[in-house]
């Protein structure tokens, strides 16, 4: 089998050929992994039956050995024959146990007792073991960068226009604040994924025939897997648990897309404030050998454009008729792609931001270009604070004049007789700011520190 | 102005002509309301300035009186002139205060200090004062219905096929469990909406000129409005607060759409298990006078189809360049429609479910039609429990035989010699179930009670 | 490489394990296929250069041989080294040609001259060679079924309620009419996919250095591939060509989803008008051996729920800054999944509809259940035609009475003295219809024939 | 009624307060307009009945007069009473006609014969009379600008990086080519909107009772409205006609969003190549009096973000069970907002582009900044054309060297001994380009002219 026979970009390009992420994804998000987790759930059922006194210890031992013998391939071949994937899995286990154990395999369970539980389990474990550590690593990368650059003055931009000054660290602290919160919400929603052992329509019909307290039986069995049961089940668990999880993932991805866009824009030829590091053998363009393109940031944005719309599928999959129709079956098989796309993008961004080149000279140059006009804001507010009755409008006109006459705003205001009475009342620090707008960065430094400190503590990061 | 000049179905049909919801929506979600809340925020800023010692008490008094004189119309006319909506609002207030108070209006604030805060405020208050009480009312309606029908046997359906029995109350308890959780999450995400007073790029640049501790100043001002400040701001607050809120609303709406679909389907001519109550003058069809269509349920589903895709806008609005571009401005003006669409649909569903007609005869009739085949499941599990080595396959074939020979499954199994040894070992209760599948409802009744009890307590409902 | 290491459901389940579609998809939609088509475009460029007199015949011959030696794997390994996929491809070809030919490989081309053209080429050829024949086969299947069942009376349903009669063939003719139009639009939009050889920003900068008429050069080269050039290019072709194609595919898929929903519903236990054929070894449910679930129809609906939202990506990919940013690169790599998902679903539906079981008895039974009320519509219109001034309201009340008193509507109307004068004027055929509503099928038969005939001719089908 | 009671931004802000578009939208897209068109369809039905010999001329005359007396308000009040909108409309007409005419109002029609036809009619006429002329006006604006700026050299940008030169006119010609095609497709899909008079389930059941050839009757009636009938109908027309129309509108909107993004970016402080004209009283920012924000372009992008996701609703509305469920009813009432949002944005863009300020100095300045590196592309291709065996790699390294040593690329290459043999063979024009990259604009001018000429002819524009 040649991976280039695949049609999914994950399978031929972004996942299987990406050694950094391959193993982690394979162990949780591949089909192989799903079958492994389903076998685990079937075994746990036998364990629970044994704990309930419904089957002998030998059934547990046999099943435990049997599931190690079942390969994904076997299950698929059996499914080809009988056209039912979980029954195929069950048959495969049964082949490896004694007649005595046979009846306890999948006993009183419905397919989705197994599938729902296995899916929740793998997403939960992937999140705990792989995703969260990576997200924290990325948060650390951002925090390190922000703290290093907390005093690097940069012009703040709104509408793509120079506004008032900030620091580069402060601009990153936005992403630290937004992104870190999604680490928490991804973690919590993953912990909140549920299993079930409630039967064909969720009313524990079959379980009730044999088990004293099927609700407690389900709870105990789920505890063995470190899961909680769905508050209510039909044939399937409530769809909102996984929907919340995917929502948090895609929401977090949106923040990365925003960050990537900012970085792409700061990398524009005219701005040049940051740059991706380029390998020495790396080709920027097949035809323009001089190009240094922000391809990693572009890739993250592009992946987001592909993944984000899939949230709609989760909204559609909320609707399942009565105690369930199967129209969420094929669609939910694609959820691993969503998670993988996100995980790969975080990994990519972590790499590129760890080695991000900051061009201080360009930051200063860009700042200086509009520095004079920056003081319009503090000036108008200072005038207002001195009870100028129409400060905003007055400064607006002064700015127009400055542009029209191509004169420096600071010069104009100092020469303006009508402003004298107000200017004279300003404090020394205020006058300094009017002279040197680089001082007009407000709390950029302190706010950066506060946010970084908060999240270092909250996420227990080592920075 | 004729409301039929409007193009929005809310404005000509679903909201302004709906007396049940009109006033509530108008007070929070109309443009008039937004302007009222913006004025409120401007006043609160003056109050905070006063508390900080930056302006006299008279400024508060004057502003307080002034904002009552400003009409939405005035603000729009001023905007027509100067092309800036918040500056227009500020000008309108300033017209009504003395020269001395004038400088303190909007002092050191940026437009989005006001807009973001006012938006959060109105959504939060709408949620607390209007939406949550309505959602709880609807939860009560569902719970009352579920408890009343907790023992009403209904055939459980998966894939649109008769599966195993439940009760109608149990089927409703699914929606109680799913929907009630969204009451909590809507409430929490509304409480988590934030304000800001952090200036043009979020770094408190202007505030820092005058205020000792601008972060504390912002916090205090927000507390006056019972809000918290955004953890980090650029020109705007972090977009994820409102995104979470809208997500929870749309997620909850999806549950209503699912419920409506179920009800529509149960109202099918061939099923007829439930029906909407019809007014005596009501026309079902312009051409088929005999029709009784599930138009309320259809309307809710249709509204959901219109509203749900708008979640995508919220994902797109996560992306704002640098310290903000304005491409989320027009789009965020449509958020009230999302909330109104949801609220109107809850109100509608609450009405129709309060008067839902349950047709017990049809429930029984439908149940009986497939009752014989229902026992296939308990039979196979009972056989398995008695160590039948191939129970599932054996019963599958027996079912096929039953269909082919058009004979009763219960009869076939009782006549089957090879099954005798297993059947003989079954308990009395088990044998009863094979005879009367109506007993095979598992924990339907108990689970219904558990869920209802839980949510009555959790939501402090009166039922 | 184990296909169960894959995470895409296509790669481990729906495509590579589906022998009916595997080869066709592999040849056009796999990564292997893309590289093959890119090599083909590079060769065509050399051919065009030769035709223009810019390189010797030997360059063509060498390149032609070289591209057969390049494997997908090689290209990827080279890309690993230099981090540029098209330059990697070029390097791979260059390895297999003489120094003399080397400069002509990729001469004056930019990466996306190759990629855009190769993508268009493969989608166009897949459509012509594989997709359209399959769509026509499915149209034939539908037409055969519709013609066979054109006289099979079925109750028409609106709002899930019995309305007035149609035939089953007529209900299928809806899908024939809607689906067949999309065959045409898919075919046309595929034929309208474009290539380019216009250089890095679309202005033929490089080409202009060497070629007399670069526009004509591009046109000639595209003609060799049976493509037309994009009307305008930047670095890439206009995005709307592929967007139109994908739109038509997804639109067509929506029709299949609608058809599948109808069939699922008609397969409900209470309705039972149609059924999927089941294999004799097939398992319906892992726990309910008696179930016959509409899993194929459910699968198609589910696949649609997964694929449809991806249209949003195409809308997002319309936006590319200036002469292009790369944020459509990863995202457009997923387009083959859209096409594959659609193609696989058509194949699936074609199979299940070829063997669809129609249950005439149930159709009659369902029809008879509401037959009496059906005549409400013709009755009211007949009365109106005889100038009854309030026919609709009168019949509406008569229907209510019929329900309330549980009496037959036909009986009531015949006994109604006030209606006598109108009834007496009705024609014999009209009276027959009031007696036997099965006659009230309007033009169901004729319309079915008209639509089938039209599309047999239009699509040149053999039925 | 105060328009600020409305919640839709269209109704309180973008449409009713926009004098340029108000009347046009009101006449076609308001609820008032819909009712007017429904009355028109009801009249046309009476006309068609008369033509068929089924009612006297007086019925036509009376109905014609009656419909002028019916107000939207009346219909809504009647609907409040009987809970059915079309029956309400019918009752309103009937009030104004004689008993003799009464039976012919809505004779044998179903509600959606009227609604579907009226909807198609209004969208078709809005498109023909209002939208297309406006789209052509905008195309003219773009073309005038492109032709004026066809020789204005601008640096082409890919990945936000300077690539190779184009002209500003050429960059606009991209949008002319893409946008103009959508004028055609919007026009065609509007012309293809359909009506119906096929009854409750589309089989002409009722019509067949009275009319010889109901298909011909429908066709004739539709011709009176300059419409064609739906190829097939259920209770409603095929959903794909309106879906195609909306798709073309939203696709066209995507092009405007792209154009707006480009313009926003070119308006960045650091780039400054274009600017929106600002009114002299206009306020850029409530706090930063110096700002000149691209608010029109931002508004168009934002409106697109709000409107584009609504396409998903159209995909969902393809699915309607059997001969129709009503779940597309509320949702399709929102289609006018889609069209209005698009129309308003075109109007806005037309205004701002008519007065766009081009800053030639900044275009030159930006170009010069990277001019030296631009020649990397032509250089490598020229070397390749002279059989340099590794031109791309050689130039890539030369560029790196140029950056590292901060030396001019042109100087480096002229000093490079190993390149001499190749350089010597270059033509005079080629050497000129290496010296002056402004000459390296390829066919920018000619292509701009070709595209503009083509669309002036095709759309019959006056420019």
Tens-digit pLDDT profile for residues D196-215: 999 999 999 999 999 999 99
Residues B417-445: what's their mean pLDDT? 93
- Mutation target to probe the A interface, by most A beta carbons within 10 A, among C1, C2, C8, C77 is C8
What CATH number did the domain enclosing A352 receive?
1.20.200.10
- Identify the closest residue of chain A to B440 by CA–CA distance: A205
Between the CA of residue B252 and those of A239, C70, D216, D247, what are the distances in Å?
Answer: 12, 54, 48, 29
Q: Is the dihedral of CA A94, A95, A96, A99 positive or negative?
A: positive
Is the backbone of residue A426 left (phi > 0), alpha (psi -120 to 50) or beta? beta
Q: Indicate if A126 and A249 belong to the same structural domain.
A: yes
Chain B residues whose beta carbon lies within 8 Å of the beta carbon of residue C287: 377, 380-381, 392
A161-194: per-residue pLDDT in tens?
Answer: 999 999 999 999 999 999 999 999 999 999 999 9
Report the DSSP pairing between strands A194-195 and A228-229. Answer: parallel
Helix, coil or strand: residue C299: helix
Q: Indicate if C314 and C188 belong to the same structural domain.
A: yes
Residue A275: phi and psi, rounded to 5, are -155, 145
Task: Say yes or no to pLDDT of A147 above 90.
Answer: yes
- Identify the closest residue of chain B to C395 by CA–CA distance: B289
Out of D267, D289, D409, closest to residue A392 by CB: D289
Residue B157: phi and psi, rounded to 5, are -125, 130
Contact check, Cβ <8 Å, C291/B392:
no
**pLDDT at position C370:** 80
**pLDDT at position A279:** 64
Integer Cα distance of A424 and D328 in angstroms: 68
Residue C34 makes CB contacts below 8 A (sequence gap 6+) with C118, C119, C122
Chain C residues whose beta carbon lies within 8 Å of the beta carbon of residue D160: 321-322, 325
Q: Indicate if B293 and B419 belong to the same structural domain.
A: no
- Number of C/D CB contacts below 8 angstroms equals 294
Out of A232, A325, A388, closest to residue B103 by CB: A388
Cβ atoms of A120 and A241 closer than 8 Å: yes
Token code pair at residue C26:
């592999």
Report the DSSP pairing between strands D357-358 and D274-275. Answer: antiparallel
Chain A residues whose beta carbon lies within 8 Å of the beta carbon of residue D400: 280
Contact check, Cβ <8 Å, B108/A207:
no
Chain A residues whose beta carbon lies within 8 Å of the beta carbon of residue B440: 205
Task: Say yes or no to pLDDT of C392 above 90.
Answer: no
Q: Indicate if D29 and D151 belong to the same structural domain.
A: no
D302 vs chain A: nearest CA distance in angstroms?
A: 13
C-alpha triplet B178, B180, B181: angle, nearest 5°: 70
Query: Is C345 assigned a catalytic role?
Result: no
Cβ atoms of A378 and A399 closer than 8 Å: no
Chain D residues whose beta carbon lies within 8 Å of the beta carbon of residue B246: none
- Identify the closest residue of chain C to B265 by CA–CA distance: C160
Residue carrying structure tokens 């609450």 = B350
Q: What is the total count of domains within chain B? A: 3
Contact check, Cβ <8 Å, B324/A159:
yes
D67-125: per-residue pLDDT in tens?
Answer: 999 999 999 999 999 989 999 999 999 999 999 999 999 999 999 999 999 999 999 99
DSSP lists the bridge partners of residue A195 as: A229
Distance of CA A337 to the CA centre of its chain: 13
Integer Cα distance of D105 and D84 in angstroms: 16
Q: Taking every pair of C-alpha atoms in chain A, what is the biggest distance, in angstroms?
A: 103
Out of A84, A200, A326, closest to residue C298 by CB: A326
Where does residue B274 rank: exposed (0-12), middle (13-18), buried (19+ CB within 10 A)?
A: buried
Contact check, Cβ <8 Å, D282/B84:
yes
Does residue A339 belong to any structural domain of this protein? yes
- Identify the closest residue of chain A to C280 by CA–CA distance: A82
Cβ atoms of D243 and C184 closer than 8 Å: no
* DSSP labels, A394-435: HHHHHHHHHHHTT--HHHHHHH-GGGHHHHTTS-HHHHHHHH
Cβ atoms of A228 and A194 closer than 8 Å: yes
Residue B42: phi and psi, rounded to 5, are -60, -40
Integer Cα distance of A394 and A416 in angstroms: 11
Confidence of residue A283 (pLDDT cuts 50, 70, 90): low
D113 vs chain A: nearest CA distance in angstroms?
A: 30
**pLDDT at position D284:** 60
Distance of CA A285 to the CA centre of its chain: 30
B74-100: per-residue pLDDT in tens?
Answer: 999 999 999 899 999 999 999 999 999
Where does residue A280 rank: exposed (0-12), middle (13-18), buried (19+ CB within 10 A)?
A: exposed
Q: Is the dihedral of CA C221, C225, C231, C233 positive or negative?
A: negative
Out of A280, A287, A293, closest to residue D161 by CB: A293
Distance of CA D403 to the CA centre of its chain: 45
Distance of CA B111 to the CA centre of its chain: 31
B230-285: per-residue pLDDT in tens?
Answer: 999 999 999 999 999 999 999 999 999 999 999 999 999 999 999 887 665 666 66
Out of C82, C303, C333, closest to residue A9 by CB: C333
- Identify the closest residue of chain B to C155 by CA–CA distance: B269
What CATH number did the domain enclosing C32 receive?
1.10.275.10
Does residue C457 belong to any structural domain of this protein? no
Q: Over pLDDT 90: what percentage of chain B?
A: 83
Q: Indicate if D61 and D130 belong to the same structural domain.
A: no
Residues A315-338: what's their mean pLDDT? 97
Cβ atoms of D126 and D160 closer than 8 Å: no
DSSP lists the bridge partners of residue A167 as: A153
Does residue D213 belong to any structural domain of this protein? no
Chain B residues whose beta carbon lies within 8 Å of the beta carbon of residue C288: 163-164, 376-377
Does residue D370 belong to any structural domain of this protein? no
Chain A residues whose beta carbon lies within 8 Å of the beta carbon of residue B240: 178, 181-182, 251, 255
- Identify the closest residue of chain C to A73 by CA–CA distance: C4
Distance of CA D447 to the CA centre of its chain: 24
In terms of C-beta distances under 8 Å and separation of at least 24 residues, what long-range contacts does A215-223 make, across chains too? A215/B443, A215/B447, A215/B450, A217/A48, A217/A52, A220/A48, A220/A51, A221/A44, A221/A45, A221/A47, A221/A48, A221/A195, A221/A197, A222/A117, A222/A194, A222/A195, A222/A197
**pLDDT at position A98:** 96
Integer Cα distance of D424 and C209 in angstroms: 16
Chain B residues whose beta carbon lies within 8 Å of the beta carbon of residue D308: 312
Between the CA of residue C176 and those of C71, C169, C454, D238, what are the distances in Å?
Answer: 43, 10, 10, 11
Cβ atoms of B240 and B318 closer than 8 Å: yes
Does residue B135 belong to any structural domain of this protein? yes
- Among D329, D363, D397, give the residue marking a domain's end: D363
Does residue A6 belong to any structural domain of this protein? no
C159 vs chain D: nearest CA distance in angstroms?
A: 4
Out of A6, A81, A110, closest to residue C8 by CB: A6
Report the DSSP pairing between strands D153-158 and D161-167. Answer: antiparallel
Confidence of residue C284 (pLDDT cuts 50, 70, 90): low
Neighbours of chain C (3+ CB pairs under 8 A): A, B, D
DSSP A154: E
Chain B residues whose beta carbon lies within 8 Å of the beta carbon of residue D290: none
Contact check, Cβ <8 Å, B160/A321:
yes
Integer Cα distance of D232 and D210 in angstroms: 21
- Among A63, A78, A104, give the residue marking a domain's end: A104
Distance of CA D312 to the CA centre of its chain: 17
List the domain range (segments joined by +) for residue B263: 124-194+233-363
Q: Indicate if A44 and A135 belong to the same structural domain.
A: no
Token code pair at residue B97:
């205060």
Q: Indicate if B238 and B141 belong to the same structural domain.
A: yes
Nearest residue to A296 via CA among A349, A346, A350, A343: A349
A148-157: per-residue pLDDT in tens?
Answer: 999 999 999 9
Q: Indicate if D340 and D381 belong to the same structural domain.
A: no
**pLDDT at position B291:** 61
Between the CA of residue C355 and those of A83, C265, C348, C350, what are the distances in Å?
Answer: 17, 17, 11, 9
**pLDDT at position C299:** 97
- Mutation target to probe the D interface, by most D beta carbons within 10 A, among C175, C266, C442 is C442
Q: Taking every pair of C-alpha atoms in chain B, what is the biggest distance, in angstroms?
A: 103
DSSP C127: I
Q: What is the ipTM of this complex?
A: 0.95
Nearest residue to D21 via CA among B73, B7, B72: B7
Terminal-to-terminal C-alpha distance of chain D: 43
Chain D residues whose beta carbon lies within 8 Å of the beta carbon of residue C323: 156-158, 163, 166, 171
Task: Say yes or no to pLDDT of A346 above 90.
Answer: yes
Does residue C419 belong to any structural domain of this protein? yes
Q: Indicate if A40 and A87 belong to the same structural domain.
A: yes
| Annotated active-site residue in B26, B98, B285, B387 | B285
Helix residue spans in A192-272 (DSSP H): 214-224, 240-266
Cβ atoms of B375 and B409 closer than 8 Å: yes
Q: Taking every pair of C-alpha atoms in chain C, what is the biggest distance, in angstroms?
A: 103
Q: Indicate if A386 and A424 belong to the same structural domain.
A: yes
Confidence of residue B118 (pLDDT cuts 50, 70, 90): very high
| Annotated active-site residue in D159, D269, D280, D427 | D159
- Among A328, A363, A398, give the residue marking a domain's end: A363
Neighbours of chain B (3+ CB pairs under 8 A): A, C, D
Out of B174, B261, B381, closest to residue A209 by CB: B381
Query: Is A285 assigned a catalytic role?
Result: yes
Per-residue 3-state assignment (H helix, E strand, C coil) for chain D: CCHHHCCCHHHHHHCCCCHHHHHHHHHHHCHHHHHHHHHHHHHHHHHHHHHCCCCCHHHHHHHHHHHHHCCHHHHHHHHHHHCCHHHHHHHHHHCCCCCCCHHHCCCCCCHHHHHHHHHHHHHHHHHHHHHHHHHHHHHHHHHHHHHHCCCCEEEEEECCEEEEEEEHHHHHHHHHHHHHHHHHHHHHHHHCCEECCCCCCCCCCCHHHCCCCHHHHHHHHHHHCCCEECCCECCCECCHHHHHHHHHHHHHHHHHHHHHHHHHHHCCCCCCCEECCCCCCCCCCCCCCCCCCCHHHHHHHHHHHHHHHHHHHHHHCCCCCCCCCCCCHHHHCCHHHHHHHHHHHHHHHHHHHHCCEECHHHHHHHHHHHHHHHCHHHHHHHHHHCCCCCHHHHHHHHHHHHHHHCCCHHHHHHHCHHHHHHHCCCCHHHHHHHHCHHHCCCCHHHHHHHHHHHHHHHCCCCC
Out of C289, C374, C376, closest to residue B396 by CB: C289
Contact check, Cβ <8 Å, C327/A302:
yes
- Identify the closest residue of chain B to C289 by CA–CA distance: B396
Q: Indicate if D266 and D359 belong to the same structural domain.
A: yes
Contact check, Cβ <8 Å, A199/B164:
yes
B451 vs chain A: nearest CA distance in angstroms?
A: 8
B128-140: per-residue pLDDT in tens?
Answer: 999 999 999 999 9
A378-404: per-residue pLDDT in tens?
Answer: 998 899 888 888 888 899 889 888 888
Terminal-to-terminal C-alpha distance of chain B: 43
Contact check, Cβ <8 Å, D166/C247:
no
Q: Indicate if B7 and B152 belong to the same structural domain.
A: no
Does residue B454 belong to any structural domain of this protein? no
B134-193: per-residue pLDDT in tens?
Answer: 999 999 999 999 999 999 999 999 999 999 999 999 999 999 999 999 999 999 999 999
């Amino acid at each position: 089998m040649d991976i280039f026979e695949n049609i999914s970009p994950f399978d031929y390009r972004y996942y299987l050929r990406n050694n950094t992420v391959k193993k982690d994804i394979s162990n949780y998000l591949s089909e192989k992994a799903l079958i492994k987790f389903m076998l685990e759930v079937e075994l746990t059922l036998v364990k629970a039956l044994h704990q309930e006194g419904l089957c002998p210890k030998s059934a547990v031992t046999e099943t435990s050995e049997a599931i190690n013998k079942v390969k994904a391939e076997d299950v698929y071949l059996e499914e080809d024959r009988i056209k039912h994937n979980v029954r195929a899995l069950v048959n495969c286990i049964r082949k490896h146990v004694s007649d005595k154990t046979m009846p306890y395999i999948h006993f009183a369970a419905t397919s989705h007792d197994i599938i729902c539980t296995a899916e929740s389990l793998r997403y939960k474990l992937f999140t705990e073991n792989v995703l969260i550590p990576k997200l924290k690593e990325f948060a650390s990368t951002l925090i390190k960068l922000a703290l290093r650059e907390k005093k690097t003055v940069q012009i703040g931009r709104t509408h793509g226009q120079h506004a008032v000054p900030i620091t580069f660290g402060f601009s990153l602290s936005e992403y630290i604040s937004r992104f870190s919160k999604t680490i928490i919400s991804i973690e919590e929603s993953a912990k909140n994924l549920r299993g079930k052992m409630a039967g064909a329509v969720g009313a524990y019909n079959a379980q009730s025939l044999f088990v004293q307290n099927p609700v407690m039986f389900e709870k105990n069995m789920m505890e063995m897997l470190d899961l909680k049961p769905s508050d209510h089940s039909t044939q399937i668990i409530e769809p909102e648990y996984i929907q919340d999880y995917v929502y948090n993932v895609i929401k977090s991805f949106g923040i990365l897309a925003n960050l990537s866009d900012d970085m792409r824009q700061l990398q524009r030829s005219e701005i040049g404030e940051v740059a991706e590091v380029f390998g020495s053998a790396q080709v920027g363009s097949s035809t323009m050998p001089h190009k240094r393109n922000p391809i990693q940031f572009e890739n993250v944005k592009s992946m987001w454009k592909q993944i984000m719309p899939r949230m709609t599928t989760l909204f559609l999959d909320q609707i399942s008729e009565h105690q369930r129709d199967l129209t969420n079956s094929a669609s939910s098989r694609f959820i691993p792609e969503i998670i993988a796309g996100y995980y790969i993008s975080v990994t990519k961004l972590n790499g590129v931001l760890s080695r991000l080149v900051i061009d201080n000279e360009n930051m200063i140059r860009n700042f200086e270009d509009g520095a004079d006009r920056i003081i319009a804001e503090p000036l108008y507010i200072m005038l207002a604070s001195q009870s100028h009755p129409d400060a905003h409008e007055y400064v607006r006109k002064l700015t127009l004049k400055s542009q029209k006459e191509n004169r420096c705003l600071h010069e104009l205001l100092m020469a303006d007789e009508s402003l004298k009475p107000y200017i004279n009342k300003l404090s020394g620090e205020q006058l300094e700011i009017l002279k040197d707008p680089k001082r007009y960065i407000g709390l950029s430094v302190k706010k950066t520190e506060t946010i970084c400190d908060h999240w270092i503590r909250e996420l227990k990061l080592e920075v």
